[in-house]
C-alpha cells in the first residue's frame, strides 16, 4: 500500500494544492478551523480512489484534481459535524477542532466545506457529476440520522446496520470511484462498476473501523477503545454478540451500557465477543465485501491502476488504525 500512495503522489499533491486554494474565505475563523482539521494528517483515501479510478480510464479532464478536493471537503465536513455531535475530545491523535475553536465554529466550518464543495462541482458544469454528488451528500446525512435513530437499539438487525454504513460511509467512497470514471470519460458500465467497487470497499472499510473500536488502542487509532458503545452506537461485532449470547448476558450488557459505566467495564464485553467469535465474524463479513469489491475489478483489463485499486481494497481491512 505504501507503493500505491507513492505512485500517485504527483496527483495527490495536485489535490493538496486544490484543498489549500479553496480555503480562502473572507472569514478568518473559517479558514483557521478548516485548515486545522484538513492539515491534521488525514490519509486522503477518497481523493486517492478518485485519482486511481480516473487514471485507469483516459483522464481527459485535468479538473479531476478539483474533484479530489471536493470529496475530501465533504468527508471533512462530516468529521467536523460528527465531532460536535459525539462530544469528541480528540481526532487523529490531537485535540478535535471543536475543542480549539468551539462547537459553533466547527458546525459552520463544516457547512462551509459542504457548500464550497458544491460550488466547486458546479464550476465543472457537468450535470451527471452534480447528480452523483448531490445524491451522495443527501444519502450520507440520512445514514447518520438512521444511526442516531438506532442509538442503544439492541434490536438493530445486521441488514439495517449494513444499509446504514452503506449510506453514511460507503456512498462517498462509491462516489469518489464513480466520479473518477466519469471525469475520464468512462462508459456507463465502467462508471457503474467503479461505483459498486467503491460501495463494497466502503462497507468493508466501515466494518473494519467498527471492529477496530473493540481492538485498537488509543495511540494507534487516536481515540479511546470502545468509543462506539459509549455513544450507544450498535455496530456489527455487538449485533453478532447480542444475537448469540444468553439472555442473562444480554441483560447484563444492557445494564452496563445504560449505566454509563461502559468506560470501566468494556473489557467484559470484549471478553464475551471473543467467547462468541463476534470479532472474527465481523472481520469475515468485511473480508467478504473486499472480495466482492475485487471481483468487480475483473471487468477492467489488467493494469497497474487496477492492481492499485485491489491493493486499496486489501488495505481497507488489513489496517490496524
Alpha-carbon distance of 38 to 117, in angstroms, equals 14
Q: Are 199 and 174 in contact (CB under 8 A)?
A: yes
Longest alpha-carbon distance in the chain: 61
| Shortest CB 60 distance to its own copies, Å | 20
Phi, psi torsion values for 260, nearest 5 degrees = 50, 30
Q: What is the contact mask toward its own copies in residues 124 to 153, using x (rule: CB under 8 A)?
A: -x-x--xx--xx-xx-xxx-xxx-xx----
| Shortest CB 105 distance to its own copies, Å | 6
Q: What is the contact mask toward its own copies in residues 157 to 196, using x (rule: CB under 8 A)?
A: ----------------------------------------
| Shortest CB 54 distance to its own copies, Å | 21
| Shortest CB 214 distance to its own copies, Å | 23
Instruction: Output 172 or 293, the one with its CB closest to its own copies.
Output: 172
How many of the chain's residues bind its own copies (CB under 8 A)? Answer: 40
Alpha-carbon distance of 163 to 203, in angstroms, equals 9
Q: Are 69 and 18 in contact (CB under 8 A)?
A: yes
Beta bridge partners of 197: none
Alpha-carbon distance of 187 to 168, in angstroms, equals 27
250-309 binders of its own copies (CB under 8 A): none
Task: Count CB neighbours of 289 within 10 A.
Answer: 24
Q: Which three cell numbers stand for residue 84?
A: 460536535
Region binding its own copies by CB under 8 A among candidate stretches 28-36, 41-49, 236-244, 269-277: 28-36
Instruction: Output 142 or 288, the one with its CB closest to its own copies.
Output: 142
| Shortest CB 272 distance to its own copies, Å | 28
Provide CB contacts within 8 A for 238, sequence distance 6+: 229, 269, 273, 278
Residue 81 found at the interface with its own copies (CB under 8 A)? yes
The number of CA neighbours under 13 Å toward the Cβ of 110 is 22
Q: Are 204 and 75 in contact (CB under 8 A)?
A: no
Radius of gyration, alpha carbons of the chain: 20
Residue 63 found at the interface with its own copies (CB under 8 A)? no
Provide CB contacts within 8 A for 140, sequence distance 6+: 74, 78, 167, 168, 171, 172
Q: What is the contact mask toward its own copies in residues 30 to 49, using x (rule: CB under 8 A)?
A: x-------------------
Alpha-carbon distance of 125 to 156, in angstroms, equals 41
| Shortest CB 149 distance to its own copies, Å | 4
Q: What is the contact mask toward its own copies in residues 83 to 122, using x (rule: CB under 8 A)?
A: -xx-----------------xxx-xxx-xx-xxx-xx-xx
Q: Which three cell numbers stand for residue 67?
A: 474533484
Beta bridge partners of 91: 94
Instruction: Output 7 or 141, the one with its CB closest to its own copies.
Output: 141
| Shortest CB 218 distance to its own copies, Å | 25
| Shortest CB 29 distance to its own copies, Å | 4
| Binding interface with its own copies (CB under 8 A) | 25-30, 81, 84-85, 103-105, 107-109, 111-112, 114-116, 118-119, 121-122, 125, 127, 130-131, 134-135, 137-138, 140-142, 144-146, 148-149
Amino acid at each position: 500500500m505504501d507503493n500505491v500512495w507513492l505512485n500517485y503522489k504527483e496527483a495527490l499533491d495536485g489535490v493538496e494544492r486544490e484543498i489549500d486554494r479553496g480555503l480562502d474565505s473572507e472569514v478568518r475563523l473559517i479558514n483557521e478551523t478548516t485548515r486545522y482539521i484538513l492539515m491534521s494528517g488525514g490519509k486522503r483515501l477518497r481523493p486517492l480512489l478518485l485519482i486511481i479510478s480516473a487514471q485507469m480510464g483516459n483522464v481527459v479532464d485535468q479538473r479531476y484534481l478539483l474533484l479530489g478536493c471536493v470529496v475530501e471537503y465533504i468527508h471533512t465536513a462530516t468529521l467536523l459535524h460528527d465531532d460536535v455531535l459525539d462530544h469528541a475530545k480528540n481526532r487523529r491523535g490531537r485535540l478535535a477542532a471543536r475543542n480549539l475553536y468551539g462547537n459553533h465554529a466547527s458546525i459552520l466550518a463544516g457547512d462551509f466545506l459542504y457548500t464550497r464543495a458544491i460550488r466547486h462541482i458546479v464550476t465543472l458544469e457537468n450535470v451527471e457529476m452534480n447528480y452523483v454528488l448531490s445524491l451522495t451528500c443527501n444519502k450520507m446525512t440520512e445514514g447518520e440520522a438512521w444511526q442516531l435513530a438506532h442509538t442503544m437499539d439492541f434490536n438493530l438487525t445486521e441488514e439495517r446496520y449494513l444499509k446504514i454504513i452503506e449510506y453514511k460511509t460507503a456512498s462517498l467512497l462509491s462516489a469518489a470511484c464513480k466520479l473518477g470514471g466519469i471525469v475520464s470519460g468512462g462508459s456507463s458500465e465502467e462508471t457503474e462498476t467503479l461505483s459498486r467497487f467503491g460501495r463494497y470497499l466502503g462497507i468493508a472499510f466501515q466494518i473494519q473501523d467498527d471492529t477496530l473500536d473493540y481492538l485498537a488502542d488509543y495511540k494507534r487509532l487516536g481515540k479511546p477503545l470502545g468509543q462506539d458503545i459509549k455513544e450507544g452506537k450498535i455496530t456489527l461485532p455487538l449485533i453478532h454478540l447480542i444475537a448469540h449470547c444468553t439472555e442473562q448476558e444480554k441483560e447484563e450488557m444492557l445494564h452496563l451500557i445504560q449505566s454509563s459505566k461502559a468506560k470501566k467495564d468494556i473489557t467484559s464485553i470484549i471478553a464475551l465477543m471473543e467467547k462468541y467469535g463476534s470479532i472474527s465474524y465481523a472481520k469475515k463479513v468485511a473480508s467478504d465485501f473486499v472480495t466482492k469489491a475485487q471481483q468487480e475489478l475483473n471487468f477492467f483489463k489488467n493494469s497497474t491502476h487496477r492492481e492499485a485499486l485491489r491493493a486499496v481494497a486489501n488495505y481497507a481491512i488489513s489496517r490496524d488504525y
